[in-house]
Amino acid sequence: MNPSKMNKEQLAAELNIEKQKFEAFKSKGLKLNMSRGIHSTEQLEISMPIMDIFHSSAEMKSEDGTDCRNYGNLTGIAEAKRLFGELLDVSEDEIIIGGNSSLALMYDCVSRAMTHGILGSTPWKLLPKVKFLCPVPGYDRHFGICESFGIEMINIPMTETGPDMDMVEKLVAEDETIKGIWCVPLYSNPDGIVYSDETVKRFANLSPAAADFRIFWDNAYCVHHLTEVENTILNILEEAKKSGKEDMVFEFASTSKITFPGAGVSVFAASKRNIAYTESILKYQIISYDKLNQLRHVRYFKHLDGIKKQMVKHREIIAPKFDLVVDTLAKDLDGICSFIKPEGGYFVSVFVPEGCAAKVVSLCKEGGVTLTGAGATYPYGKDPKDSNIRIAPTFPPLNELADALELFCIAVKIAAYEKALG
């Protein structure tokens, strides 16, 4: 029931009912974790054939004859560049194949900018201040990278078509201390928003005051569809080339949500100048990434259609879980909270009444369900409205997810009714 349509007596009565339900839940002794978007065991099993790719040392050679057990091929084997270049629609000389974590590639890009600068610019560590724009709600690990380097973060509101581009354009044009912006353009984390063509074009045509400004384009969910309608976005690198601004784009992706999150392949795509510059520094950091894993993925998928077929299998497992979340929230919290029904990605973004998110998360933990911390989707962990909660439904089985959602709804009602009562 909507608290705004209830009098004090009704609120008190409903609050008492929900508290009784909560105490009953606590007695169940639940221990469920929905704090991160991770694969279920069933999803992990999908990729097990990848472990049977090699049967002899002869099969561990790349197409150019390189023994992938040995040193060499700093930026990745050719067939991996070709496969993942197809995934992101970039050429083989615009890509570096990394280890199992695209987050590590992002961190390294910021770290290199700090210590060496970008394409001849002043190293960021020598500047009095460095700032990043952060669309919110957003990805907590992006914000964590900034915080670890002491980079000041500026909130940018999200709209239905992506970040508030009027604000982005104005800020980057006026302030040369703004050196970057974090973007998850297709099924944003956590809202599931798809950047419109206009938004991508406006990004590609930004005129920043800082020559070393970079768009950190985390295309993490580029094939992670939850419906048969497969949304797409414009190619940011190609759009930027049209105005001669391709150096402004750093794009990232990985197979973390495609094969094994802990043993996948990551990708860094950028202009040829950026790739060459990155390679000139990377050669001092590492001799090569895991080429066997690169080759294993290529042999398993063979081509982009192989990746797409894999994602259909994932969708069949996780789509019912997202449907359950959406249906439960719509049924039990109508008029109390709002949420965005995602068509892809890994999360459901829920907005509870202002001032209630931390209370809801705390109650859920007390009842045996761990959620992503309130405020995690904002820089410094500070949600100015204490309203947004990110739900990650992929890991638990459906029956456990149903229990977790029931507890979540109870917690939201308790927090909302208590707030309304003052």
Do 288 and 313 lie in a common domain? no
H or E stretch including 159?
A: strand 152-159
Smallest CA-to-CA distance from 104 within 152, 71, 139, 145 is with 145
What tens digit of pLDDT does each residue of 211-235 get?
999 999 999 999 999 999 999 999 9
Containing structural domain, residue 97: 61-302
Domain count, the chain: 2
Say if 52 falls within a structural domain: no
Do 195 and 315 lie in a common domain? no
pTM exceeds 0.75, yes or no = yes
- Establish whether the linkage from the previous residue to 137 is cis, with ω within 30° of 0: yes
What tens digit of pLDDT does each residue of 306-345 get?
999 999 999 999 999 999 999 999 999 999 999 999 999 9
Strand partners, 390: 349
Among the candidates 302, 320, 352, a domain finishes at 302
Do 81 and 191 lie in a common domain? yes
Do 213 and 343 lie in a common domain? no
CA 342 to the chain's CA centroid:
13
pLDDT in tens, the chain (422 residues): 788 788 899 999 999 999 999 999 888 888 888 888 899 999 999 999 999 999 999 999 999 999 999 999 999 999 999 999 999 999 999 999 999 999 999 999 999 999 999 999 999 999 999 999 999 999 999 999 999 999 999 999 999 999 999 999 999 999 999 999 999 999 999 999 999 999 999 999 999 999 999 999 999 999 999 999 999 999 999 999 999 999 999 999 999 999 999 999 999 999 999 999 999 999 999 999 999 999 999 999 999 999 999 999 999 999 999 999 999 999 999 999 999 999 999 999 999 999 999 999 999 999 999 999 999 999 999 999 999 999 999 999 999 999 999 999 999 999 999 999 98
Q: What is the CATH number of the domain that holds 134?
A: 3.40.640.10
Q: What is the CATH number of the domain that holds 14?
A: 3.90.1150.10
Report the C-alpha gap between 348 and 325 in whole angstroms: 8
Among the candidates 249, 274, 302, a domain finishes at 302
Say if 51 falls within a structural domain: no
Say if 32 falls within a structural domain: yes
| Total residues found in the chain within this entry | 422
Output the DSSP codes for 23-74. Answer: HHHHTT---EEESS----HHHHHHTGGGGGS-SSGGGGB-TTS-BTTSS--T
Say if 262 falls within a structural domain: yes
Do 40 and 104 lie in a common domain? no
Report the C-alpha gap between 113 and 109 in whole angstroms: 6
Among the candidates 263, 280, 302, a domain finishes at 302
Do 382 and 314 lie in a common domain? yes
